[in-house]
Amino acid sequence: MTVPFSIRQLDHIVLRVRDVAAMQAFYCDVLGCSVERRQDAIGLLQLRAGASLIDLVDIAGKLGSMGGAGPATEGRNVDHFCLSVAPFDPNAITAHLAAHGVRVGEFGSRYGAEGEGPSQYLFDPEGNLVELKGPAG
């Protein structure tokens, strides 16, 4: 059977979070996202991440409370997600993350949507694993 559509890109990811303000500060101030839209009545904050969105859902809000327990050291809501970034200067990236007190994970070469390329793992304030991926080459 032929699929009647083709996937173009990652549209958005939804993170259920305990502290929306801390997560907004991290994704905006550290990673450069911007606030796209806020829906306080349902506990949703949408952040622009290039062509995609990162949705922060307050676990105490209308949407978030439907998902059960929040993220914790024993379990996460997402394994990780990857943000394609350019330019990719490992020294500048790690210095920037260190200046913001971000817990940094492993650096390496990993395969992504555009092929093999440099990659840096890091953790947001609630322990979600985020990958910053450079261009293939």
**Do 79 and 129 contact (CB within 8 A), yes or no?**
yes
Sequence letter at residue 106: E
| pTM metric for this prediction | 0.83
Three-class DSSP category at 18: coil
32: which residues sit within 8 A by CB, 6+ positions away?
A: none
Residues 9-62: pLDDT tens digits? Answer: 888 999 999 999 999 999 999 999 999 999 999 999 999 999 999 999 998 888
Residue 96 pLDDT level (bands cut at 50, 70, 90): very high
CA 58 – CA 132 distance, rounded (Å)? 24
